[in-house]
Amino acid sequence: MIKFFKNKNRNKNDMDSSLIKITALLIHAAKIDENYTEKERKIIRKAIVELDSKDNDIDEVLIKAEEIEKNSNQILDFTKEVKNMNEDSKIKIIEVLWKIVYSDNNPDMYENSLMRRLSGLLYLDPKIVGDTKKRVINNLKK
């Protein structure tokens, strides 16, 4: 996966804030089935490393993102960060989200509903989101 925060015109605080909000979205997806597992946490940790070009402290990012997610009653603030990315970057985030959803091999109706909502909120064609889902499932079978 590419580093998403390469833009040198953005200051470090903006990049950190974006990373934390995107991480909060991933955590929200992991918690939506009320079963936030260590496997999901590992997927999120790996995504943080792949998203971050500044080598932030992963544990610090996770702690801040978990706090923001816990105190938020909506995902719009989190999706705003992803919505402003290019389509390839959005698809990479959707791929991570699908990995979280399928990490327990048992996606529930809340997880599937979230992914449908995110398709619209991120202005992604549902076919692209579905194709990404199929690719993640196929990779898990290998």
Kindly list the structural domains of the chain, giving each domain's residue range(s) and its CATH number in brackets, ordered by start: 12-141 (1.10.3680.10)
What is the average pLDDT across 16-35? 93
Measured distance CA(68)–CA(135) in Å, rounded: 30
What is the average pLDDT across 108-117? 94
What is the pTM assigned to this prediction? 0.87
Pair of tokens at residue 58: 């992963």
Three-class secondary structure of residue 5 per DSSP? coil
Q: What is the pLDDT of residues 75-111, one digit of tens each?
A: 998 999 899 899 999 999 999 999 999 999 889 999 9
Q: What is the pLDDT of residues 59-79, one digit of tens each?
A: 999 999 999 999 998 899 899
Measured distance CA(108)–CA(30) in Å, rounded: 11
Instruction: Between 11 and 116, name the one with better pLDDT.
Output: 116
